[in-house]
Amino acid sequence: MSDTTPKSATANQMWGGRFATGPDAIMQAINASIGFDKRLYAQDIQGSRAHAAMLAATGILTNKDVEAIREGLLTVLSEIEAGNFTFKVELEDIHMNVEARLKEIIGEPAGRLHTARSRNDQVAVDFRLWVRDQCDAAITGIEALMRAFLAQAEAGADWVMPGFTHLQTAQPVTWGHHMMAYVEMLGRDRSRFADARKRMNESPLGAAALAGTSFPIDRQMTATALGFDRPTANSLDSVSDRDFALEFLSAASICAMHLSRFAEELVIWSSAQFRFVRLSDRWTTGSSIMPQKKNPDAAELLRAKLGRILGATVALFTVMKGLPLTYSKDMQEDKEQVFDASDTLMLGLAAMTGMVQDMTANRDSLAAAAASGFSTATDLADWLVRTLNLPFRDAHHVTGTLVAKAEAKGCDLPDLTLAEMQSVHPGITADVFTVLGVENSVRSRMSYGGTAPEQVRAQIARWKELLK
Ligand code: ARG
């Protein structure tokens, strides 16, 4: 097209000056982010209000203009919140949608709001504010789930169940101990989100397009107004950094991985073969053909959700990999991933909390399973070491022979007679039977962090205090 081509009426009003025509319809479709970044409207308006107040305080804009801007922004906010706002795809993103509407409402001063600012630092600040909120929401959700596990642990601090390695019966443990294992995992998740939040709590606003600005802005003022600890220290990094989103996604992935592990345990435990727990009707579904069925659908979905969250994490890493400084439009691909991952995590935490609150442990099944599978074989070996002073390797061998004997007889270790025991090692006395019971077994695991009910109760008390 020649330079004399008349400007199309649809050339963008924000930068149309050097453009002859508006974008191709397909360009608009691939370029626009308003379909998803409208979720940032509150943060966008919050950031603009802080920016405007600073422009007035520094004398860059007049108080009169800024008053109009801040009032106008509140009107836009209430329109969006009331559902009376028309988001326009030709205005590309939330930033331009808000500004264009502001112009309709207050006229000329709206055009001054973008002084000493760029959409690059604007989107960086909006998105940080949003992700920061999600860290808080994740922490709240995690704490609720921790409390649900704590309640389960407290109810069954001394209930015995099999502990597994390789999903094979290993040693008896307590129900409370198993529940508290998840409290530990979630405690780490909580600290990961808190830690990421701390690191991301710096304001990129005022980095402008990439180089800072020649206007005498006050970045500390906007940082404080938006609840940030300080302004970011390098303008290039400020507009090109998405570490905060990656950290959020990474923490979310680890947390979702923990949820998937308990989800898998619930699927196994609620089966007719295990019957360790009964899930409530609120978290299960029936089958249209098999009337006996109660399917652990919520648990199965939670087992799967990590796929989405980890997928989002990999997607954003892939977007960011190899991007030259500073902002590139590639980075617009950050938001949908984080939105979806965050929604998925919050829903997952809420669902898991409900399931854990509502589930009923079957104490008898747990106890019966704990006593089977020669679960106290280690206790027997330890007794041989302690009482007969056998080297552990020899004790292990003697015990293995006794397990084989019991297996051949079709009974468990405590069902062997003393004579049968003595035929394997003559030094064994009737005292051995005291360690073959599962209750004694768990009570004896008194090492710090061990499964003894006393230890479990100490950990419950510690976490209750920490969660106060
Ligand atoms: N919608 C854009 C995004 O989400 C906003 C920043 C655009 N900046 C620019 N120079 N095109 O990343």
Q: What is the pLDDT of residue 18?
A: 83
Q: Tell me the CA–centroid distance for residue 329 and ligand 1, in Å.
A: 6
**Do 205 and 231 form a contact (C-beta atoms < 8 A)?**
yes
Tokens (6 digits) for 418: 């003393």
331 DSSP assignment: G
Q: Which of 16-25, 26-35, 421-430 has the lowest mean pLDDT?
A: 16-25
Q: Tell me the CA–centroid distance for residue 159 and ligand 1, in Å.
A: 56
Q: Which of 62-71, 324-333, 368-377 has the lowest mean pLDDT?
A: 368-377
Tokens 């089966």 -> residue: 271
**Do 306 and 260 form a contact (C-beta atoms < 8 A)?**
yes
pLDDT tens by residue, 192-250: 999 999 999 999 999 999 999 999 999 999 999 999 999 999 999 999 999 999 999 99
- The model carries a pTM of 0.93
Whole-angstrom Cα distance, residue 333 to residue 319? 7
Please determine, for residue 1, whether its predicted confidence score (pLDDT) is greater than 50. no
Percent of the chain with pLDDT over 90: 91
Q: Is 170 exposed, middle or buried (0-12, 13-18, 19+ CB in 10 A)?
A: middle
Which atom belonging to ligand 1 lies closest to the Cα atom of 127?
4
Cis amide bond preceding 326, omega within 30: yes
Ligand 1 within 6 A of CB of 121:
no
Instruction: Provide the residue type at 103 as one letter.
Output: K
pLDDT tens by residue, 137-146: 999 999 999 9
Whole-angstrom Cα distance, residue 349 to residue 268? 20
Q: What is the pLDDT of residue 46?
A: 98
Please determine, for residue 97, whether its predicted confidence score (pLDDT) is greater than 70. yes
Cis amide bond preceding 115, omega within 30: no
Under the banding of pLDDT at 50, 70 and 90, the label for residue 126 is very high
Q: What is the mean pLDDT of the segment spanning 372-388?
A: 93
Q: What is the pLDDT of residue 312?
A: 98
**Do 192 and 186 form a contact (C-beta atoms < 8 A)?**
no
Ligand 1 within 6 A of CB of 332:
yes
User: How open is the CA angle 10-12-17, to the nearest 5 degrees?
Assistant: 110
Ligand 1 within 6 A of CB of 123:
yes
Q: What is the pLDDT of residue 8?
A: 44
Of the ranges 12-21, 279-288, 457-466, which is most confident? 457-466
Under the banding of pLDDT at 50, 70 and 90, the label for residue 10 is low
**Active site members:** 166, 287
Q: What is the pLDDT of residue 19?
A: 87
Q: Which of 120, 320, 325, 330 to mutate to test the pocket of ligand 1 (most atoms within 8 A of CB)?
A: 120
Average pLDDT across the chain, whole number: 95
Residue nearest to atom 4 of ligand 1 (CA): 332
Percent of the chain with pLDDT over 70: 98
Under the banding of pLDDT at 50, 70 and 90, the label for residue 20 is confident
Whole-angstrom Cα distance, residue 92 to residue 31? 7
Residue nearest to atom 11 of ligand 1 (CA): 329
Residue 136's Cβ-side half-sphere holds a number of Cα atoms within 13 Å equal to 7
pLDDT tens by residue, 288-300: 888 888 899 999 9
Q: What is the mean pLDDT of the segment spanning 295-312?
A: 97
Ligand 1 within 6 A of CB of 126:
no
